[in-house]
């Protein structure tokens, strides 16, 4: 009899333990389901796509005489927003503040000629699209320079780069090519590096090809050396977890490439003259 009572007690305890365990697991499952990706819904509900960019890099993004942000990235972002049925809002942000602004919710995505390497160097907590354009980093010298005709000629020279960008990574990688520069000067902006080059305080700049060609076109004081140091892709950058929004961007960019819109934007802003 005592054994039967003991058996019943053990059985009841076991059943209660199982029930409590099952009940306690339910909220966790519900919590997991409740962590949903609202990134695309937030844009479509607000009907506004907020795009962060630093408009200091023509022809990718710059400010025209009407104080409008124009360039390859703004035109592509506008076309993407149009396909999504929303309006686009450009948020003028200093380069070094783009990732912080993204994480603070100041905008939905970054489209500012930013490479995946540049984005992830700042933080791993981002979502990246496939590269939507490929940039080459090249050498710029003064037009009267006869000594530098290739990257190998940078050995023993003073080279300038904008800090925290793909060109800086390219210049820092020269050592791996057995090209040892005399000094690598880092600047906050490309404009500062160009001023130093014009004044003869540095021998060359490493910068993206599109930016370099734009500057050379408008200023014959500089020339571009046609010997790319390396190539890098540029991508749409969103906050970590914004998978739905990035997926939508990739879908729309494929549509724009298919219907010819993408090529028209490239021709307008990036085609060499």
Q: In this predicted model, what pLDDT tens digit does every residue of 80-116 receive, in sequence order?
A: 999 999 999 999 999 999 999 999 999 999 999 999 9
Lookup result for tokens 């149009």: 82
- Quote the tokens at residue 3: 């054994």
Rounded Cα distance between 181 and 171, Å, is: 9
Q: Is pLDDT above 70 for 3?
A: no
Rounded Cα distance between 188 and 97, Å, is: 12
DSSP 148-193: -SSGGGGTTSEEEEETTSHHHHHHHGGGGGT---SEEEEESSHHHH
**Residue 210, CA distances (Å) to 38, 60, 117, 140, 231 in order:** 35, 8, 19, 12, 12
pLDDT of residue 35: 57
Question: Phi and psi at residue 73, in whole multiples of 5°?
Answer: -65, -45
Q: Is pLDDT above 80 for 29?
A: no
Spatial contact of 204 and 140, defined as CB atoms under 8 Å apart: yes
220-252 per-position pLDDT tens digit: 999 999 899 999 899 999 999 999 999 999 999
Does residue 206 or residue 217 have the better pLDDT?
A: 206
- Quote the tokens at residue 87: 């309006």
144-173 per-position pLDDT tens digit: 999 999 999 999 999 999 998 889 989 999
Please name which of 116, 134, 129, 108 lies closest in space to residue 49, comparing C-alpha atoms. Answer: 108
Give the percent of the chain with pLDDT over 90. 80
43-87 per-position pLDDT tens digit: 999 999 999 999 999 999 999 999 999 999 999 999 999 999 999
Question: Phi and psi at residue 264, in whole multiples of 5°?
Answer: -65, -40
**Average pLDDT for 211-216:** 92
114-128 per-position pLDDT tens digit: 999 999 998 999 999
- Please report, to the nearest 10 degrees, the dihedral formed by the alpha carbons of residues 91, 104, 79, 237 taken in order: 120
pLDDT of residue 272: 57
Does residue 272 or residue 200 have the better pLDDT?
A: 200
Rounded Cα distance between 150 and 204, Å, is: 11
Judged on CB neighbours under 10 Å (0-12, 13-18, 19+), 260 is: exposed
Judged on CB neighbours under 10 Å (0-12, 13-18, 19+), 220 is: exposed
- Please report, to the nearest 10 degrees, the dihedral formed by the alpha carbons of residues 214, 218, 224, 229 taken in order: -30
- Quote the tokens at residue 268: 């307008």
Mean pLDDT, the chain, whole residue set: 88
pLDDT of residue 16: 40
Please name which of 111, 118, 88 lies closest in space to residue 238, comparing C-alpha atoms. Answer: 111
pLDDT of residue 33: 40
Q: Is pLDDT above 70 for 190?
A: yes
pTM of the model: 0.76
Rounded Cα distance between 72 and 268, Å, is: 8
pLDDT of residue 103: 95
């Amino acid at each position: 009899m005592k054994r039967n009572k003991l058996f019943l007690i053990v059985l009841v305890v076991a059943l209660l333990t199982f029930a409590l365990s099952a009940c306690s697991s339910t909220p966790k499952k519900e919590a997991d389901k409740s962590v949903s990706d609202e990134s695309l819904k937030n844009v479509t509900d607000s009907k506004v796509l907020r795009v962060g960019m630093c408009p200091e890099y023509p022809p990718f993004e710059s400010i025209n005489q009407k104080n409008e942000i124009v360039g390859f990235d703004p035109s592509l972002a506008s076309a993407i927003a149009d396909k999504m049925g929303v309006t686009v809002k450009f948020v003028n942000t200093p380069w070094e503040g783009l990732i912080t602004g993204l994480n603070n919710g100041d905008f939905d995505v970054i489209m500012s000629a930013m490479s995946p390497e540049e984005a992830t160097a700042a933080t791993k907590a981002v979502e990246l699209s496939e590269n939507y354009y490929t940039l080459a980093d090249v050498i710029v010298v003064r037009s009267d320079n006869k000594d530098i005709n290739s990257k190998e000629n940078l050995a023993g020279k003073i080279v300038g780069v904008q800090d925290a960008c793909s060109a800086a990574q390219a210049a820092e990688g020269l050592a791996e090519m057995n090209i040892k520069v005399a000094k690598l000067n880092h600047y906050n902006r490309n404009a500062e590096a160009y001023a130093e080059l014009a004044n003869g305080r540095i021998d060359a700049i490493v910068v993206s090809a599109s930016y370099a060609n734009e500057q050379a076109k408008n200023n014959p004081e500089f020339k571009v050396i046609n010997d790319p140091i390396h190539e890098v892709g540029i991508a749409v950058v969103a906050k970590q977890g914004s998978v739905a929004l990035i997926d939508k961007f990739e879908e729309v960019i494929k549509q724009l490439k298919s219907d010819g819109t993408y090529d028209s934007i490239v021709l307008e802003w990036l085609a060499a003259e």
